[in-house]
Structure 1
């Protein structure tokens, strides 16, 4: 009987192999189909993933950078505490608040100060040696450079590499300042509406910070950072004042003072935010009027600079042509 079963199995071996291959293919197709079309619960969880990334605490709690440099850091970071605090404030205004932001800033300046002149001198040497093909005019100009001109180019490249990051940092801080200043009135209105709807002040700031993550990421980051610092145990007044110092915007400083005074004296937060929002709208309107009143002066300067040469040509041109013809004839 055993031999008959073995013979039957051997005779049906192709059929069993085909069935196994079919079952494996069916499992693979079902797996691929489940990956391409997940169930509704997984789709809802996937839609909530970006929201969780916005609310995440990663990178919001900022370490202190007031430590005295030690070791190799003494060669990069200045030892003067006042100078370090000034640079740290500039980095905070630009949104660079990482643990090694100051070290990376000074390291970038030093590296660029050496790298740019080295790259320029390497290009000049390669062009003179014939390794770097250049257009004819540029090659003639490079070949005619004297030792003094090469020294001047080197000094200029060192200055650009060392002071370029400082100008870039200033421009970045100015752009971030303008972005926060433009977005803060709308954020204040949202906080006021949230508080009037019954939310607490901290919950309102977190809600507004999450809502502004895509439209105003700079202000959203500051709101969430301040609230995470409060939740981590820092005092509310210190967290709000540090937020105002990081932004460098006068409206944010006034907002922090209004909130702290309302909490200190027990007044209504909703009424305080309503009054301050009204003053903010009035201040924004006055700034718009001021900018509109400056336009005629700016336009008059442009018109005068463009019209004056044309008027001189129209009035003095015929006289000059007449005198030229008279004395030439």
Structure 2
């Protein structure tokens, strides 16, 4: 890298840094103005001490700035659904995520800038400029990647609780309980048995107690979680709650279909694992076995040929 291009790269890095700082300050001021406007419109906010209110307000302002950055990354408005799927329904949990969305890129940029300033004199500035941009981009995408992985893992745990959930529902319905009573009983008694579904149905029971329509509430839960196995069960509950009729047979049919599908998935996994094991045996076990079996004979042949030649 020639010395003539060094001022250009330094100026470009400074421009990017100033632009990022200015954008962050603008988003922070805008979020603070929106929060002040909400405080004026909402008169029944809970009272808090001055230090708590100040720290809470600062975190909320920073979280609003992170929410603005998230809107730049999330063009499909997928983040609210992922937050629900990850189990982060509380406003404080969501604020912490948006706060991470703001701070992680800043921290990554500062670390990359520190490495840039401490680089050797003969190192290329272009490479460090690329590292700086890659660090900023990785910082923007890392919180969303973590959120997506957490939501996917929790959906898998919810799907694993569905068979036991069906069995408990059948027992409660056979005991003469209605849909709302059965869900309330599961929320009260199933905290240790169905930890993930218990959290979701606790929200459902609160909405039902507040006067919400059961069909609409269950449909919203199905659309928010997007777990196909649970969606089938919720569809049966909606039909029974609206039209009435026998609930045991549809639930048992749903359970049978679920177990059959899981059996097929398990067979596919076993077949895939068998194929991988075959490749491993061919690459590692078969050469060792060939050396162990044919090695002595091969050595004897070589010695015999050597004696004949001698």
TM-score of the superposition, structure 2-length normalised? 0.63
Distance in 1, matches of 2:116 and 2:70, equals: 33
CA deviations over 1:128-184 (Å, ceiling 9, x no partner): 5xxxxxxxxxxxx86764322322321222122111112111110111011001111
Distance in 2, matches of 1:233 and 1:209, equals: 18
Distance in 2, matches of 1:250 and 1:190, equals: 19
Deviation at 1:77, TM superposition (A): 5.2
CA deviations over 1:25-49 (Å, ceiling 9, x no partner): xxxxxxxxxxxxxxxxxxxxxxxxx
1:113 lines up with 2:105 in the alignment: yes
The answer on whether the counterparts of 2:109 and 2:132 sit within 8 Å (CA) in structure 1 is yes
Among candidates 288, 293, 297, match of residue 275 of structure 2: 297
1:271 lines up with 2:249 in the alignment: yes
State which structure, 1 or 2, has the greater radius of gyration over its C-alpha atoms: 1
Among candidates 67, 82, 86, match of residue 90 of structure 1: 82
The answer on whether the counterparts of 2:215 and 2:242 sit within 8 Å (CA) in structure 1 is no
Alignment of 1:9-158 (within 5 A): 75-76=68-69, 78=71, 83-84=76-77, 86-99=78-91, 105-122=97-114, 125=117, 128=118, 145-158=123-136
1:250 lines up with 2:228 in the alignment: yes
The answer on whether the counterparts of 2:222 and 2:234 sit within 8 Å (CA) in structure 1 is yes
Q: For residues 265 and 145 of structure 1, do their structure 2 counterparts lie closer, same or farther at Cα, with a shift above 3 Å needed?
A: same
Q: How many corresponding residue pairs?
A: 234
1:225 lines up with 2:218 in the alignment: no
Q: CA RMSD in A?
A: 3.6
Among candidates 191, 195, 199, match of residue 169 of structure 2: 191
CA deviations over 1:205-230 (Å, ceiling 9, x no partner): 22223333234422111122112111
CA deviations over 1:47-91 (Å, ceiling 9, x no partner): xxxxxxxxxxxxxxxxxxxxxxxx97884453899722x222222
Deviation at 1:186, TM superposition (A): 0.8
Distance in 1, matches of 2:79 and 2:68, equals: 16
Distance in 2, matches of 1:265 and 1:147, equals: 70
Deviation at 1:104, TM superposition (A): 5.1
Q: 2:71 aligns to what SS in structure 1?
A: coil
Distance in 2, matches of 1:246 and 1:304, equals: 46
Greater mean deviation of Cα atoms: 248-257 or 262-271: 262-271
Alignment of 1:156-175 (within 5 A): 156-175=134-153
Alignment of 1:201-220 (within 5 A): 201-220=179-198
Distance in 1, matches of 2:103 and 2:169, equals: 45
**Structure 1 gaps, min length 5:** 1-70, 129-140, 323-329
Distance in 2, matches of 1:186 and 1:297, equals: 32
Deviation at 1:112, TM superposition (A): 1.2
Deviation at 1:307, TM superposition (A): 4.8
Alignment correspondent of 1:131: none
Deviation at 1:95, TM superposition (A): 1.9
**Structure 2 gaps, min length 5:** 1-63, 303-310
